Amino acid sequence: MRKLVCFLTLLFVCSAFALDRQPGADYHARREALAKKAGGVVVMLAPLEKMDAVYGFRQEDNFYYLSGITVPGAGLLIAPAVEAKNDTPTRAYTEILFLPPRNLRLEKYTGTKLGGDDPDAPKATGFDRVEDMAKLPEEVQKLLANQRPVVYTETASNGNNPASDDMLGFLKHSNAMVFFQDVKPMLTSLRTVKDAGEIAFIQKAVDASVAAHLAAMKSVKPNVKEYETAALMNYEWQRRGCEGPSYSSITIHSTGLWPSATACHCDKTELWVMQR
């Protein structure tokens, strides 16, 4: 019975990831590369889930790139290894995934969710450590002790307020002086070079997009409604294992226009075959 419960728990955990996910070692390598590039403490926070009947929840791209995790409201903390120098003690490479508290009442409808106190969490997520979200402030302040008080995170830009901007308030209003640096340029640099897994997913997106557009062309006949064609395209993408379109067809909003040329994205690798 215990084995069955563990199996079902892991099954529900897997459902929290995208339909396609690269091996955990790939995400781990990205986290290590970013920690070395930043040379300091990096904190990334996933957005909370909002009530969106059209688009649903979609994990923030950079958070997914580093973690492969689609859990809303999760956080990650990484820091490079540090050699002993003056008052700074030796520190090994650090990576921690923080998961939001479980809602047992809601899990009656959503299924079992993974919690930070689950002993199987590191194996299921590919992180060295997994903790409850409430421990994030404590762990950040431990890493900032005896070193430059700099945190690399996603900062607000061009009117865009990332989840980190609001949720790092515990540092902004603490007695300690903490400086924030934008981590996005470093992530952009890392993401410029695609690994073999990403290339495979891009090819998958291309193949699914071509198939969907060909199906749409063949379906165009007198008296065929545009929303029927849009539904056919979504069917072709999703039956090939894609998570969904890069952006919603405009026919969903009843504009009476031809569906936007779009492409599926697999494993959060977006491909735009044609612009709007």
Query: Rounded to an integer, what distance in angstroms lies between the CA atom of residue 61 and that of residue 198?
Result: 13
Is pLDDT at 196 greater than 90 in this prediction?
yes
Averaged pLDDT score across all residues of the chain: 79
- pLDDT of 199 higher than 80: yes
For residue range 139-162, list pLDDT tens digits in order.
Answer: 998 888 877 788 999 887 766 666
202-234 tens-digit pLDDT: 999 999 999 999 999 999 999 998 889 889 998
pLDDT band at residue 173 under the 50/70/90 scheme: low
Asked if the model's pLDDT at residue 12 lies above 50, the reply is no
- Domain(s) of CATH 3.40.350.10: residues in the chain: 2-191
Tens digits of residue pLDDT in 82-112: 887 777 777 889 999 999 998 888 888 878 8
CA torsion, ordered 248, 69, 140, 38, to nearest 10 deg:
-80
Q: What is the pLDDT of residue 243?
A: 79
- pLDDT band at 135, cuts 50/70/90? very high
Q: Which residue has the tokens 């008296």?
A: 223
Give 55's Cβ-side CA count (13 Å radius). 10
Q: What is the pLDDT of residue 111?
A: 84
**pTM to 2 decimal places:** 0.76
The third-level CATH classification (topology) of the domain covering 2-191 is Creatine Amidinohydrolase; Chain A, domain 1 (3.40.350)
The pLDDT, as a whole number, for residue 163 is: 60
- Reported as half-sphere exposure (CB side, CA atoms, 13 A), residue 10 has a value of 11
Q: What is the mean pLDDT of residues 67-81?
A: 92
| Statement: residue 265 has pLDDT above 50 | no
At 25, the amino acid letter reads: A
Whether residue 81 is predicted with pLDDT greater than 70 in this model: the reply is yes
Confidence (pLDDT) at 86: 74
Q: How far apart are CA 98 and CA 48, in angstroms?
A: 13
d(CA 247, CA 221): 25
pLDDT in tens, 15-44: 444 457 899 999 999 999 999 999 999 999
pLDDT reported for residue 177: 72
pLDDT of residue 158: 63
